[in-house]
Amino acid sequence: MPARVWVPAYVGIGSNLDDPEHQVRAALQALSGLTDSRLVARSGTLRNPALGPRPQPEFINAVAGLLTRLAPVDLLDALLAIEQRQGRDRGSDVRWGPRRIDLDLLVYGDVAMDTDRLVIPHPGIATRNFVLFPLLEIAPGLRVPGLGPVQRLVAAFKQQTTGQVSSTWVAPVTLQSKAP
């Protein structure tokens, strides 16, 4: 059942199989068609090494900003349906392994929740450059529930990874945000 008000939500997008840039674009197109939701911002795309088992191809990542009236679990179900339509089978995935598409609900308004199905904000948000930098690009004033301003999270990430950033952060594939 849709919420009565529009809620800002942010979705992490990643792919490292089957033309990853195309997969990310297809996911953004699918997000733009979600019921009771509007795609209002999208970051540039970033190329970065995979976190999981090696060897595997580099990932292309982006973040989408939505306004939605879907409840958090309904939005999660919509994201999982997009993944499935793009050929992802979560049942056969290796944790942090290669994947055609990965959609993660990062932030949903000011909601903090931890259930068997969904944890918001996403538990890895503060430690993942491929989430933090795109979030900063499209929502520099965002306050992540329980963690604080995205600007502070990025500064803390940079402080913790001084000297290491070059091994995990690669220049953006595209630089400009695109709002539909």
Collapse the DSSP code of 130 into the 3-class scheme (helix H, G, I; strand E, B; otherwise coil) and give the result: helix
Active-site residues, by number, are: 88, 99, 102, 104
CA 37 to chain centre: 16
Collapse the DSSP code of 179 into the 3-class scheme (helix H, G, I; strand E, B; otherwise coil) and give the result: coil
Retrieve residue 141's tokens: 């004033």
Collapse the DSSP code of 72 into the 3-class scheme (helix H, G, I; strand E, B; otherwise coil) and give the result: helix
Collapse the DSSP code of 33 into the 3-class scheme (helix H, G, I; strand E, B; otherwise coil) and give the result: coil
8 Å CB contact between 169 and 133: yes
Retrieve residue 22's tokens: 């195309």
Give the type of residue at 99.
R
